[in-house]
Chains A and B, each alone.
Chain A
Amino acid sequence: MDRLRIQRGHIPYLSEFFHSIKLDRLRMQRIRELAIEKALFLCALVSVLTTIGIVLVLIFETLSFFEEVPILEFLTGTTWAPTYRPQHFGVLPLINGTIMIAAGAAVIAIPLGIASSVYLSEYASAKVRQTVKPVLEILAGIPTVVYGYFAISFITPLIREFIPDANIFNAASASIVVGIMILPMVSSLSEDAMRSVPRSLREGAYALGSTRFDVSTKIVVPAALSGILASFVLAISRAVGETMAVTLAAGATPKMTLNFFESIQTMTAYIVQVSLGDTPHGSIEYQTIFAVGMVLFIMTLLMNIVSMWIKERYREVYS
C-alpha cells in the first residue's frame, strides 16, 4: 500500500515534470527558429551590404576618375593607353575586345547549346539524360584558369596549324574557349526550360502525326522560348565577365580590330592586368580600373535586366 501511495504521489509530479520538459522543448524550438531566422537574415544582410558597398566604391572612384578625364573622351576615344605617355583613355578598344569575345563565344555556344538541349530533352533516353546532365553541371564548375590553359596549350596551336599568321595570343582562341565554357550553361538552362513544357503538349502534337523533329522545333522550343533566350543572355553576360581564360588566351593588346587572329584585350583582362601590376594606388592609371569596371557592371546589369524582361515577355502560358 505504501509503495503504491508513493507511486501515486509521484504521478502528478512526473506529469508536471514531463509537461515542463515539453514546454521547454517548445520554447527551445521557438528560440532556435528565431535564431535561425535572424542568422539567415544576417547572411542576406551581409551580402546586400557588400553589394551596396562595392557599387558605392565603384561610383565614387569612377566619379573621381571623371574629374580628371572627360567622360566623352573616355567613351568615344579609340586608343587605350593609360600607362604610356602620352596617355589615352578611350575605352572603346576594350569594349570592342569584350564584344568580340562575347560574340564569338555566342556563335559557338548558342547553336551547340540549343542542339544539345533539344537532344537531351527530346531525343535522349532517361538514362543518357541522367548521366549527361550532371556531367554538364560539373563542366560548368571547372576553374576558368584551367580553360585558359586548355586554350593556350591546345586551341591556339590548333588554330596556328591552319592559320600560321595568327598571333600566339588571339581572340579566336579566347572566343572558342569561352564558348566551350558557357556551353554547359546554355544547354543546361535551355534543357530545363524545355523539360518544363508539359507532356500533354507533346502528346497533342505527336497525336497529329508529328515527327520528333516537328515536336522539338515547332512545339517545345517555341513554348520554352523565354527560358531559352534568357539562358543565352545569361551565358553571354558570363562571357562578358569572363577574365582568366581570356587573359591567358587573348593577351593584353587593347586594339580597335575585328580580326580574330590578333591579340586583343577585354575590359576584365585589363582590370586584372592593372590590379596585378605595379601601378600605384590612387593614381589616375589605377583609377581607370574603376571606370572600366563601371562600364562592365552596367553592361552585365543591363543584360540581366534584359534576360528577366525576356522571361516575362515571352512567357508562354501553357495549361
Chain B
Amino acid sequence: MTEAIHTTNLNAWYGKTHALKNIDMTVENNKITAIIGPSGCGKSTFIRCLNRMNDLIDGFSTEGEILIRGKDIKDTDPVALRKKIGMVFQKPNPFPKSIYENIAYGPRIHGINKRELDSIVESSLKKAALWNEVKDRLNDNAMELSGGQQQRLCIARALAVGPEIILFDEPCSALDPISASKIEDLMIDLKEKYTIVIVTHNMQQAARVSDSTAFFLMGEMIEFGDTKQIFKKPREKSTEDYITGRFG
C-alpha cells in the first residue's frame, strides 16, 4: 500500500467555528507533503486531526473519515495512534529535563527496557543530526540548548518512539535561517524511512522539500497536487495569488 494517510470528507469544528470543510486528501508513504495557506485557514487543525491531538481541546469535534494505513483512527486508541504518528511543534518544546531524559521519556513510557535506552538515545540523536553537538553533555538541561538544537532535540524525541509518520507544524518558523536549513536537510534524509507532513508559511521551503503540496484557504482545500505543478502551474487563481504573494 502506498497510502499512508487518507481523509474523506473531513470536517472539523471548534464549538461552532467550522475550521475544516470536506477535506479529501491522500498522503503517500515516504513522501513529504506540504500544507500551505494563509494564517487561520486550518492547516494546524488538519494535522492535529491526524494524531487526534485536538481531542484534548474542549468542544472540538470532527466528522468524516481518516484512515491511517487503511485503518480508521476512530477505532484506534489515541495513545497508540500518537505513538505511531509523531509531531513536532512550531515552538521547540523540550521538557525541562536533561537532554538524555528528553529522548528517553518516550521509550520509557512505552515500556522499553532500561538497557536499550542508551542506544535509542544515541541513535535518535544521530538521526536528528544532533549527536555530535550534545554527546558530551547529555545530562545538561535541554533548556540550555539553542533554539535550533532544541527543535532537533524535539525531532529526536519524536523519532525515539519509532513513529511511521511525522507531522511538522511550522517547525522552522522560530528558527534562524541556518538552523532552518539544517532541519530541511534533515527532513529530506528522514523521508527515506518516514512519511512526513509539514505545515509551512515559507513557500521556498515547501518548494524545496516537499513532493506534494496542498493549498488550504478558509478551511477548504483549494488545490492539491505535485509540488512542481502547484508552484509552476497552479490550476486555481487563489493558489497562484497566494504563492506569488499577491494574497492579503
Contacts and interface: CB of A to CB of B under 8 A. Distances in A.
B94 to A, nearest CB: 8
The dominant DSSP class at the A interface is helix
Contacts of B158: 207-208
B83 A200 contact: no
Contact of A209 (B91, B93, B94, B109): B109
Interface string B107-136: 001100000000000000000000000000
Nearest to B107: A208
B53 A209 contact: no
Interface residues of A, number: 23
Contacts of B157: 204, 208
Nearest to A219: B95
A195 to B, nearest CB: 15
A201 B93 contact: yes
B161 A206 contact: no
Interface in B45-64: 51, 53, 56, 58
Contact of B109 (A207, A208, A316, A318): A208
B109 A206 contact: no
Contacts of A316: 96
A218 B96 contact: no
Given A218-B105, A219-B95, A318-B96, A207 B58 contact: no
A207 B51 CA distance: 8
B93 A208 contact: no
Contacts of A209: 79-83, 106, 109-110, 161
B97 A222 contact: yes
Contacts of A210: 79, 82, 109
A125 B91 contact: no
Contacts of B94: 204
Interface in A221-267: 222-223
Nearest to B58: A126
Given A208-B82, A209-B161, A203 B53 contact: yes
Interface string B157-186: 110010000000000000000000000000
Contacts of A318: 96, 143
Interface string B73-107: 00000011111001101010111110000000110
Nearest to B90: A200
Nearest to B108: A218
B57 to A, nearest CB: 10
A126 B15 CA distance: 14
A201 B142 CA distance: 13
Nearest to A223: B96
B154 interface: yes
A204 B89 contact: yes
B110 to A, nearest CB: 6
Given A206-B82, A209-B79, 18 more contacts: A201-B96, A203-B56, A203-B87, A204-B89, A204-B93, A204-B94, A204-B157, A205-B95, A206-B53, A207-B82, A207-B89, A208-B86, A208-B106, A209-B109, A210-B82, A210-B109, A218-B109, A223-B95
7 contacts: A200-B89, A203-B53, A204-B94, A208-B161, A210-B109, A211-B109, A223-B95
